[in-house]
Amino acid sequence: MVGTVILSNSSRTQAASSATEATVLGVEVESLDGSGNNAANPNWGKAGTPYDRVAPARYADGKSQQVAGPNSRFISNRISNDVAQNIFSEHRVSQWGFTWGQFIDHTIGLRQAPGVGDSPDPSSRNIVFNANDPLESFRNDFGSIAFTRSTAAPGTGVNNAREQVNTVGSYIDASAVYSDSPARLEWLREGPVDGNLANNGPHLLLQNGYLPRRDARANPAAAPPMDVDGRLRANPNSARVAGDVRANENIDLTATQSLFAREHNRIVDRLPNSLSNQEKFEIARRIVIAEQQFITYNEFLPAMGVSLAPYQGYKSNVNANLTNEFATVGYRAHSQIHGEIEVETEVARYTTAQLDAIRAQGIEVTVDGADVSFVIPLGVAFFNPDLVPGLQLGPLLQGIGSESEYRNDEMIDNQLRSTLFQVPVSGNPECLDGPTLPECFRGVVDLGAIDIERGRDHGIPSYNALRAAYGLPPKNNFRDITGENTDNFPILDRLVDRRDPINDPNILDFVRLTDINGNVIPANDPRAETDVTQAVRRTTTAARLRAIYGSTNNVDAFVGMIAEPHVNNSEFGELQLAIWKKQFEALRDGDRFFYQNDGALGLINFFFGIDFHTNLGDVIARNTDIPRDELSDNVFITATPDAG
């Protein structure tokens, strides 16, 4: 960061080594990349440093070779396959649970992987796809599922255990909005792109209130790189540019990024013109960082049922680095992500031509009098950023909070588990979701299988070893892992092949569905798509795990974690809850700029009347045309007692 910002006669705070020397109100400004946050250890939490570990790395050769295990697609087909049955959060956590979770994820972590043109790690092995698997319902013309190992941290993996690099700073510092890089930030700010941040305006660059496209400055080749996949590959210059490269992954995420860019500009506009552009920018950035932290610790984590130890102030001996266990296993809650996004609003917002264009993408559009509803398959929402202004920001953000997210369990929607980021080969929009999904695609990308494989890639310990690392006792049988009453297959049920039950597709049948109040829902009832929070299958997860792994000591950490029953009043089992608790306490306690330790925030409020204490619903209402009273008081919890 360039320059010094002084808004009072206070002496400038001396920054730590490699951190910015800029100050606001005489108080040090947080660096972009996390460096210098900890004065004694300036590289703690810094972008481009290795993840920490809670447990020793587990490699077959002690250095780098992945530990062998059952084929991860084989596991996914038997454990994570939801056979198109929706199961919702039992605590009415809205889709803001996984949306905010991803926004935070893209602020604090991004593994280093081979870049475009780089040679993949020679030890990388694609995941074998078995078209003859009796539980396989998808076609894969590529014959395997692509998998590339994360890049090894320099100096690791040859004579010592392989480590991996976190390419972004670990602190909750809104870097997904601002980036960790001065060069990217300069492009994102209004004004010239000439290598000198001092002559940039205080606002973030927007186009009609939305994130700028790569061609917003006329030369898309000079724009910061953004991840492009799926249907965006055909028009990469339509990618929206933000502080994080992943901002186009899905429309909920793109909308959230747009919201906080607007929030930054709203704060800038409240500041007096007597301030310099740099002063306005730094004050707005500081408020947005504090807002992101405040919402995370006061809305997001409580909604997810994560209770932390009381805050005792900044602790300089706490390292806020992300741990490999958190980034690779604990923070992967992909089961929560919906297979579709629903938006309901006034039909008068759209012209007939606009509705036709939305419908043509495979989106269900239903007009009912003065209202219109959109049902967007997740596959259509992937890498489709132009849908955000098409649907409009306010209705989309409101829709995220209107329906419960899926239950955090071992099951993952097939749009993530089989067709992630894939472009359909069929022009029939009727097959973009549900049981007909395989008809639309000819390739398979399985996020559940990749989650398992990534744990092996990063040397994550086995399930029981990871429990031990977090102070939890081992699970000595599969019933203890899942909380179920048996780990045997039913011997009297003729629909299960007793000779080879793990390869019998009938083991995945649902035999009982109930709603949030425990009422039974018949399988053919429409409520089976909208209200289910508990489900019983023909065979227990414990029986299937036992047939796959044989011993609880062989279970992959990710698989065992997601199979655990939830702790009371939480969305998580014991292990995942312990991982979250340890990491989010470290991110809070080891952050010198955490909002409860940042005296500049009180000065900003005193001088300019701008307070960071806010909730997400207020941020949405302030920056869109959705009135506050049309949003839940807490948008992380659905307003109605049912799941639909």
With 90 as the cut, is the pLDDT of residue 116 above it? Answer: no
Residue 12 pLDDT class (50, 70, 90 cuts): very low
**Nearest Cα residue to 441 out of 233, 229, 138, 230:** 138
Is 643 a domain residue?
Answer: no
Return the ∠ at Cα 349 (arms to 348 and 351), rounded to 5°: 80
Residue 498 pLDDT class (50, 70, 90 cuts): confident
* pLDDT tens sequence across 157-209: 999 999 999 999 999 999 999 999 999 999 999 999 999 988 999 999 999 99
Query: How many domains in the chain?
Result: 1
pLDDT at 641: 53
With 50 as the cut, is the pLDDT of residue 16 above it? Answer: no
Mean pLDDT (the chain, rounded): 93
Contact (Cβ atoms closer than 8 angstroms) between residue 121 and residue 151: yes
With 60 as the cut, is the pLDDT of residue 13 above it? Answer: no
Torsion region of 133: left, alpha or beta (phi above 0 gives left; psi -120 to 50 gives alpha): beta
What is the share, in percent, of the chain residues with pLDDT greater than 70? Answer: 95
Sheet of strand 371-377, all strands in order from the earlier edge strand to the far edge = 340-346, 371-377, 364-368
Query: How many Å apart are CA 358 and CA 347, to the nearest integer?
Result: 13
Query: How many residues in total does the chain contain?
Result: 644
Helix (H) or strand (E) segment spanning residue 549: helix 541-549
**Nearest Cα residue to 446 out of 134, 142, 227:** 142
Is 401 a domain residue?
Answer: yes
With 50 as the cut, is the pLDDT of residue 598 above it? Answer: yes
Helix, strand or coil, per DSSP, at residue 479: helix
Task: Encode burial over 514-524: b for 16+ CB neighbours within 10 A, e otherwise.
Answer: ebbeeeebeee
Is 374 a domain residue?
Answer: yes
* pLDDT tens sequence across 241-271: 999 999 999 999 999 999 999 999 999 999 9
* Inter-helix orientation angle 277-295/616-623, to 10°: 140
Average pLDDT over residues 229-250: 96
Residue 15 pLDDT class (50, 70, 90 cuts): very low
Query: How many CB atoms lie under 10 A from the CB of residue 547?
Result: 20
Query: How many Å apart are CA 443 and CA 423, to the nearest integer?
Result: 9
Query: How many Å apart are CA 201 and CA 52, to the nearest integer?
Result: 37
Query: How many CB atoms lie under 10 A from the CB of residue 282?
Result: 25
Is 546 a domain residue?
Answer: no
Is 137 a domain residue?
Answer: no
Residue 14 pLDDT class (50, 70, 90 cuts): very low
Is 92 a domain residue?
Answer: no
| Cα 579 to chain centroid, rounded | 16
pLDDT at 427: 63
Average pLDDT over residues 451-480: 98
Please state the φ and ψ torsions of residue 364, each to the nearest 5 degrees. -75, 120
Query: How many Å apart are CA 172 and CA 263, to the nearest integer?
Result: 17
The whole domain housing 370 covers 336-407+417-440
Residue with token string 């992945």: 66
* pLDDT tens sequence across 313-364: 999 999 999 999 999 999 999 999 998 999 999 999 999 999 999 999 999 9
* pLDDT tens sequence across 284-301: 999 999 999 999 999 999
**28 DSSP β-pair partners:** 23
Torsion region of 253: left, alpha or beta (phi above 0 gives left; psi -120 to 50 gives alpha): alpha
Strands (E), 347-477: 364-368, 371-377
What is the share, in percent, of the chain residues with pLDDT greater than 90? Answer: 87
Average pLDDT over residues 446-471: 98
Average pLDDT over residues 573-588: 98
pLDDT at 295: 98
With 50 as the cut, is the pLDDT of residue 372 above it? Answer: yes
Average pLDDT over residues 215-222: 94
Average pLDDT over residues 358-378: 95
Helix, strand or coil, per DSSP, at residue 71: coil
Is 451 a domain residue?
Answer: no
Q: Which residue has the higher pLDDT, 434 or 2?
A: 434
Residue 435 pLDDT class (50, 70, 90 cuts): confident
Helix, strand or coil, per DSSP, at residue 395: helix
Is 1 a domain residue?
Answer: no
With 80 as the cut, is the pLDDT of residue 492 above it? Answer: no
Average pLDDT over residues 556-571: 98
**Nearest Cα residue to 295 out of 635, 639, 638, 640:** 635
User: What predicted TM-score, i.e. pTM, was given to this entire model?
Assistant: 0.95
